Amino acid sequence: MPTVEFMRKGFWQRSHHLDRMTLRELVVAYFQYPAILAYGALAVVAIALAAWRPASLPATTASVAFAVLVYPLVWYVLHRWVLHSRWMFKVPILASTWKRIHYDHHQDPNHLEVLFGALHTTLPVIVVMTMPLGWAIGGFGAAFAALAAGLLTTCFYEFCHCIQHLAYKPRNAMLVAMKARHMAHHFFDETGNYGITNFFWDRLLGSFYERDERTVKSPTVFNLGYTAEVAERYPHVARLSGGVATGHPRQRARG
């Protein structure tokens, strides 16, 4: 039974863990999360601007299609070579960003508050990956149509990401396989399966795997290579985290 103090707290002042939530609870939380509200509001503005000075139908369609199709590649590149890099934590000015946008998520993969991307990192990427080519295809209207598509695709990706961490087994076989591959990335070997809903680029670039294809668990699956030894030389993330955690997050919680 929740305490009065707990119930008085604002929704996002509480802690939310997807392995303890139902699908309904996730949906309620998802549509109250500030980043999702921001994406939705900005998408409405972008659609309004695209309608105010519209591009031709072919240009608008091409711009939206580009935004949707390029998203998996952009995510793959960022996830593999930026978020899983071992250079961000070495730079003091970037250490807190790396900790917030990915290290914390791998430290506790089911913690909802750190699953969503941080707006100060996601929004610039969405703008840069959609608007310039949209503008090149059809000018003002196409640029904002592409931006709206990028924002809504981000919402879709974020929801799928939540589902993959939820204590819930999808009925759809494709979603089941998608979830299994992402869970392997988080709990067995982080050096592969960088996609969220699309593993085409993993297959093409040699990072795709099924769980039974790798027999040895990665020792850095939860810390992304930021070990106690590394922290001695690059202490920025450790200072922000109160030390370097080790082992399975649920085991740490029980301990």
- Tell me, yes or no, whether 173 lies in a domain: yes
Hunting for tokens 């996730």 — which residue is that?
26
- Tell me, yes or no, whether 156 lies in a domain: yes
For residue 168, the model assigns a pLDDT of: 83
pLDDT tens sequence across 187-244: 999 999 999 989 999 999 999 999 889 889 999 999 999 999 999 999 999 998 887 7
Give the total number of structural domains in the chain: 1
Residue ranges of the chain with per-residue pLDDT less than 70: 1-14, 246-255
Range of the domain at 140: 18-254
For residue 5, the model assigns a pLDDT of: 42
Q: Determine if the pTM surpasses 0.85.
A: yes
Q: What is the DSSP letter of 191?
A: S
- Tell me, yes or no, whether 121 lies in a domain: yes
For residue 8, the model assigns a pLDDT of: 42
- Tell me, yes or no, whether 100 lies in a domain: yes
- Tell me, yes or no, whether 76 lies in a domain: yes
- Tell me, yes or no, whether 6 lies in a domain: no
- Tell me, yes or no, whether 227 lies in a domain: yes
Neighbours of 34 (CB within 10 A): 10
